[in-house]
Amino acid sequence: MTNTGMPRNYGGGSLGPDQKSLEELKKPPTFMRKQRYLFDNTLAKGAKAMIGWLLAAAAIASIPFTIALQLISQGTHDNILSNETGAKGVLRVLDDAWQSFYAVLGKGGFKTDTWDARLFTIFVTIFSLVIASTLFAFITATVNKRIAELKKGKGPVYESGHTTILGWGPQIFPILQQLEVANANKPSTALIISLVEREKMDDEIKLRVGELKNTKVITRNGDPASPRVLAQSSINNARSVIVLGNKGPSAATTAVLSVLSNLGMTSKVSIVADVNDAATAEALYKSTGGSVLAVRSEELIARVTAHAIRQPGLAAVYLDLLDFEGDEIYFANVPAAIGKTFGDVITGLGESSAIGIRHSDGTVNITPPVETIILDGDQIIAIAKDDDKILWAGDSSDLSDIKALSQVGDRSNATPDKILIIGWSPMAKQVVLELGNFGVPGSTALVFAQTSKVTADELKGLETTNLTVTAKGTTGDIDELIEVINSQEFNHIVIFGYRGKTITPAESDALTLLTMLEVNHVKNLPGSKVAKARVIAEIQDSNNVELARVVVVDDLVVSDRLGSLMMAQLSETPGLYHVFEELFGPAGTFLSSKPIQSYVPLNVETTFATLVAAGRSRGEVVIGYRQPEASDPTNPTVGIRVNPAKSTVLTPTEGTYAIVIGPLE
């Protein structure tokens, strides 16, 4: 090939053909493109839509004959057809239109006893045959092809104010369920773009989620990382974009860059991406000026799992705070709180639980010192059933002298933990390190994993100051499992699926469920050494939760649900990002469940306001409590009260825990 001497344009200058077509796709749709989009959507509905278009075409074709009947003489008119009703004026026109329409459909005809009527009938018959044959040929050849394309999920989308979800996986279903709740007051649309076939997506959504009343779901088959696919999917008009991380950080990053290539770096569309790599997540957030909110779902799941091991009921509390049902985290302006301390606000809100302050500059402070003054422009961060429930209830000076029975938790006398970990995954390593950093000194953990799925290198680097870790391999034999479970008096048994290995999430969950059955069997044997051990299991797919509840389990960590709930929350309220970072982050503020006798006396009737005031004296925010007599081992959420009214009366007993947010003791 000869060089023409023309310089190549690698950066600026005019747009190439691909870029030009991309720019065209990003333009607002024309009137005809919108009509084509509506037409395609009706065709995708199947036979009913085809019949509708046939009737419409017949109605249009009958218009010329109706007009002709009005223009010919009365005598000729009567020769062609008779007006049996004797109608005149508009009613006669309607009768003529009906008979013309019926004749075009081939189901009716005109009188044929005179030559003028016969001639008119011949024209109608010919016209009917031409229209019908042409229409049926068009419908048969073109519409069937178009329906096949639409069933595959091809074609543009013209929506606005919708949520775009890029990728496919178990997280889809909890996200759709949460969007349905969030859209209760204002119905909206969710658009899913993935490489999965459209029919498969639609079938799984129908099976797992059911019919949605407030959320219209549109599925499209295409590459989520293709700028062209996103350009013809109304990405510019989306309210928010959720990028799933099933294919790894690199795939999620590519999809995010594809979104940004369409939206630009200054777009106000919320982009929430599941990126399970800390360096990548930080780079995306900083390089986009906070436009991309990176959720590290595996780190979140690991931290929740570690907290569930250390303290009962916390997994259920995390789920309650993250979903759109029940109580949520809101920002609210509370004029009556200006000039007062955060300690006053903790007890001064009647139907909500203050947990922090969002300052006028946008910075967030969860559980600040109680003497912190609320300034003009500050917002209260609170847990409430709705933002209109965050109201000042009045002066609470009568609670100012209440002190907790124990001002500082004593961990020096705490009994070291003996933990058995069955199964393994990269996330499990984070759990072990979390336990080691914040566990009781002298604790031990035994990792029991299949050697065919876990290498020795994966079990390195687990030693911490407070936790000694040993490992024992297995071939997966059930007798080996029973032997190790009953080898010593473990007080915690943690079951992990082999996440990220060569098996699918469904296969991993099946192995986890089988292990849960065996653990439960050994626990119930006479003289079992693990009869009192707490069992915590991770289920990757929320579709298997009901199966897991068949077995007695103290805490169930549902992986896909946790990450999905956080992404759904951030897609609706991006401002919660910094709240979640501090609340679920590696240091600083923690959600804990602590024995209630550290705050108020046992077996003495008290109010939740008193419990909150006692927690305030320790620099903590009490957001609820868990009562043992109401607990249900098959459902860890039973017995937990998050954000009860301050006037709620309770009588704490042995085994009652206060649920608090504050520093870890």
Determine which of 184-188, 193-197, 250-254, 313-317 has the lowest per-residue pLDDT on average: 313-317
Could you tell me the pLDDT band of residue 113, with boundaries at 50, 70 and 90? low
Segments in 439-477 forming alpha helices (H): none
What are the structural domain ranges in the chain?
A: 46-151, 163-295, 302-407+565-662, 418-490+492-532
Which tokens belong to 531?
């009869």
Cα separation, 92 vs 111, whole angstroms: 17
Classified as helix, coil or strand, 115 is helix
- Residue type (1 letter), 526: P
Ranges assigned E (strand) in 552-653: 555-558, 590-595, 606-607, 621-626, 640-642, 649-650
**Band of residue 146 on the pLDDT scale cut at 50, 70, 90:** low
* pLDDT value at residue 15: 39
- The whole-number pLDDT of residue 629 equals 59
Asked if the domains 163-295 and 302-407+565-662 are classified in one and the same CATH topology, the answer is no
pLDDT of residue 429: 87
Place of tokens 């008193």: 610
Would you state the pLDDT for residue 46?
Answer: 56
pLDDT at 408: 62
Over residues 578-603, mean pLDDT: 84
User: Do 53 and 134 meet the contact criterion of CB atoms below 8 Å apart?
Assistant: no
Question: Does pLDDT of 291 surpass 50?
Answer: yes
Q: Exposure string (b/e) for 509-518, b if CB count within 10 Å is 16 or more?
A: bebbbebbeb
For the chain, the C-alpha Rg in angstroms (whole number) is: 33
Cα(559)–Cα(301) distance, rounded to whole angstroms? 6
Query: What share of the chain in percent tops pLDDT 90?
Result: 31
Which two structure tokens, joined as six digits, stand for 65?
Answer: 């004959």
Q: How far is CA 213 from CA 121, 174, 183, 184, in A?
A: 50, 16, 9, 8
Mean pLDDT of 277-292: 87
- What percentage of the chain exceeds 70 in pLDDT? 80
When pLDDT is cut at 50, 70 and 90, the band that residue 627 belongs to is confident
Q: Would you state the pLDDT for residue 254?
A: 92
Angle (CA) 22 26 30, round 5°: 120
Residue 354 has pLDDT above 90, yes or no: yes
Q: Establish how many alpha carbons lie within 13 A of residue 307's alpha carbon, considering only the half-sphere containing its beta carbon.
A: 28
Split at pLDDT 50, 70, 90, the class of 599 is very high
Secondary structure class of 445 (helix, strand, coil): strand
Q: Are the C-beta atoms of 437 and 463 separated by less than 8 Å?
A: no
- CA separation for the pair 384, 350 (Å, rounded): 10
Coil, helix or strand at residue 126:
helix
Predicted pLDDT of residue 552 = 63
> For residue 498, what are the CA distances in angstroms to 280, 336, 505, 509, 543?
24, 52, 8, 9, 18
Q: What is the pLDDT of residue 441?
A: 86
Q: Tell which residue, 467, 400, 382, 475, has the closest CA to residue 429.
A: 467
* 403-420 core/surface letters (b: 16 or more CB in 10 A; e: else): ebeeeeeeeeeeeebbbb
pLDDT for res 419: 93
**Residue 634: pLDDT band with limits 50, 70, 90:** very low
Sign of CA dihedral 208, 209, 210, 215: negative
- Write the DSSP string, 381-434: EEEESSGGG--B----GGGTT---S-SS---TTPPPPEEEEES--HHHHHHHHH
Lowest mean pLDDT among 332-336, 359-363, 546-550, 638-642: 546-550
Asked whether 380 and 331 are in contact (CB, 8 A), the reply is: yes
Residues 309-325 pLDDT 10s: 877 778 888 888 888 88
Residue (of 138, 66, 127, 77) closest to 101 by Cα position: 66
Task: Indicate whether 643 pLDDT > 70.
Answer: yes
Confidence band, pLDDT 50/70/90 cuts, at residue 150? low
Residue with tokens 């079938």: 203
pLDDT of 443-489, one tens digit each?
Answer: 999 999 998 888 888 888 888 888 899 999 998 888 898 899 988 89
Biggest CA-to-CA distance, the chain: 113
Confidence of residue 9 (pLDDT cuts 50, 70, 90): very low
| Average pLDDT of the residues in 562-571 | 90
The arithmetic mean of pLDDT across residues 105-132, rounded, is 61
pLDDT, tens digit (0-9, with 9 covering 90-100), for 24-50: 666 777 777 777 777 777 666 655 666
Q: How large is the average pLDDT for residues 514-523?
A: 89
Which pLDDT does position 117 carry in this prediction?
58
| Strand, helix or coil for residue 123 | helix
- Of the candidates 446, 450, 349, 456, the one whose C-alpha atom is nearest the C-alpha of residue 396 is 349
> What's residue 12's pLDDT?
38
Residue 58 pLDDT greater than 70, yes or no: yes
Residue type, 13: G
* Mean pLDDT of all residues in 512-525: 88
Q: Is the dihedral of CA 29, 33, 38, 41 positive or negative?
A: negative
pLDDT given at position 96: 73
Give the pLDDT confidence score for residue 631 in this predicted structure.
Answer: 46
The mean per-residue pLDDT over the stretch 540-546 comes to 80
Residue 624 has φ and ψ, to the nearest 5°, of 170, -165
Q: Considering only residues 315 and 178, tell me which one the structure prediction assigns the higher pLDDT.
A: 178
Res. 651: pLDDT tops 80: yes
Give the pLDDT confidence score for residue 191 in this predicted structure.
95
In which residue are the tokens 């003495």 written?
A: 604
From 586, 281, 168, 379, select the one nearest 271 (Cα to Cα): 281
**Residue 8 pLDDT greater than 70, yes or no:** no
Asked whether residue 375 carries a pLDDT value surpassing 90, the answer given is: yes
- CATH assignment of 418-490+492-532, given 3.40.50, 1.10.287, 3.10.20, 2.20.25? 3.40.50
Q: Which of 187, 188, 138, 154 is nearest to 41 (CA)?
A: 154
Residue 2's pLDDT band (boundaries 50, 70, 90)? Answer: very low
294 vs 559, residue with greater confidence: 294
Average pLDDT, rounded, for the chain: 81
CATH topology of domain 163-295: Rossmann fold (3.40.50)
Coil, strand or helix at 637: coil
Best CATH choice for the domain 302-407+565-662 from the list 3.55.50.30, 3.90.1300.10, 3.30.470.10, 3.30.70.1450: 3.30.70.1450
Say whether pLDDT at 433 is over 80: yes
